[in-house]
Amino acid sequence: MIAVTLKLDPIIDLTDEQFYKLCQLNRDIRLERSAGGELIVMPPTCGETGNRNIKLAARLENWAEKDGTGVAFDSSTGFKLPNGANRSPDAAWVRLDRWRALFRQQRTSFPPLVPDFVVELRSATDSLKPLQEKMQEYIDNGVRLG
């Protein structure tokens, strides 16, 4: 299944708060937002991909808990990147000092930071180029490892 991109500009320019509310009102739809303000509707994963995702997230969480130097996140977490995009990697990790530096309100919304580590798993239906572009966006915004 392929993600669908909705071009909103110049008709609608969603604020961060409006995008957050849109996501809260549509919890069954996984939405991302590009740096240019386009909405990206991500389809649900298929069985094998979902199984690989949960295994990856569980392993990252187990490591993070044992290591104690950071916090792990699953694919349902949206991050507000410095370029203005809202992205949800399949798994992510943030150093504990960076996480704790955020205000509570920032931690309970889409954290305004780029993770230190991100993973994007490619399923059988994913095209390579969009994933490479997304990973480059993470790198350009400060991801240390992807």
pLDDT tens-place string over residues 82-111: 999 999 999 999 999 999 999 999 999 999
| Residue ranges covered by each domain of the chain | 4-140
Q: How many Cα atoms are found within 13 Å in the side-chain-facing hemisphere of 42?
A: 23
Q: Compute the distance between CA of residue 64 and CA of residue 70 in angstroms, rounded to an integer.
A: 6
Using a cut of 0.85, tell me whether the model's pTM lies above it.
yes
pLDDT digit string, tens, across residues 45-81? 888 888 999 999 999 999 999 999 999 999 999 999 9
| Domain range 4-140, CATH architecture | Alpha-Beta Complex (3.90)
